[in-house]
Structure 1
Amino acid sequence: MGKLFSAHGAARWLLVFAGWVVLGRVDAIDLAAGLVISALAAALSLHLLPPVRLNPRAMTAYAARFCAGSLRAGWDVAWRVAARPPLVNPGVLTVPCAVPQGLARDAFKALASLQPGTLPLAGEGPDLRVHCLDITAPVAAMLDADATAFRAMADAPRHG
């Protein structure tokens, strides 16, 4: 429980409690229960997932890159499927991935799956299998740039 009273622990406790308040009622008994349950959840999360130093400037840059890329890709997908005949060439590509395997890779794949036109698939190893709407598009370059920006957020080590 000692980690719970660190800066990381307090931040997690506050975030879990904020989620409790957003999802539940705000009666006195509910808030009291939320404080206790949030503390237990934060303590467990600190045990299962150690604190990570995040770079706020890199997080902001990644968020801007993600939003701009999502809008650009959304328009591209809409244009491709609205064209007659549709301008799609779907397939699965195997591309190198600079994000190390584990939780960081899983988080990167989750964020990459939100980008229109690409869907990271399950797989092991240093490469990433990606289903994409057009295999002739520069998917590998886009994912490499995204991985570099993602790694900068937590100063994650490069794989390989």
Structure 2
Amino acid sequence: MREITTFLWFDGKALEAAEYYTSVFEDGRILGTVLNGSAGPGAEGTVLTVDFELAGRRYIALNGGAGDGFNTSVSLMVQCETGEEVDYYWERLSDGGEQGPCGWLKDRFGVSWQVTPTLMFELQQHPDQVKAQAVVAAMLRMGKLDPAALQAAFDAA
């Protein structure tokens, strides 16, 4: 098997979405586009798919038309090493979208993201479950996740 590629269905905004995502991620790049031909399914010369890459992972955006929308049952997670990275991705990805609880947000296209400090996973996996659960309790009270506050909850437990 070569790879598993995430395929995202948009209603006429595949190129706009791919350009947006590749502008947010420093290493993002558009790999290519496929245009509709005379056989369709869209108007000839319009974008059918956009192949793009974020953080070394390939995605394909499809102009599939109206119909199935995105929901929170599938999300893309951005793991951040610093609070500054959390701030950057949280602000950029939620711009024009909707900020949610526990590090979740929906971007302007309705795609769900989790902007998560890697520290959270380290603290939650600590053998001292009192400390680990203090981190979970702190996370459950947050919108954007704050690594310093998560560490403080761990240290105080």
Name the TM-score, length of structure 2 as normaliser: 0.29
Q: Which has the higher contact order (CA 8 A, sep 6+)?
A: 1
Structure number, greater radius of gyration: 1
- The structure richer in strand per residue is 2
Higher helix proportion: 1
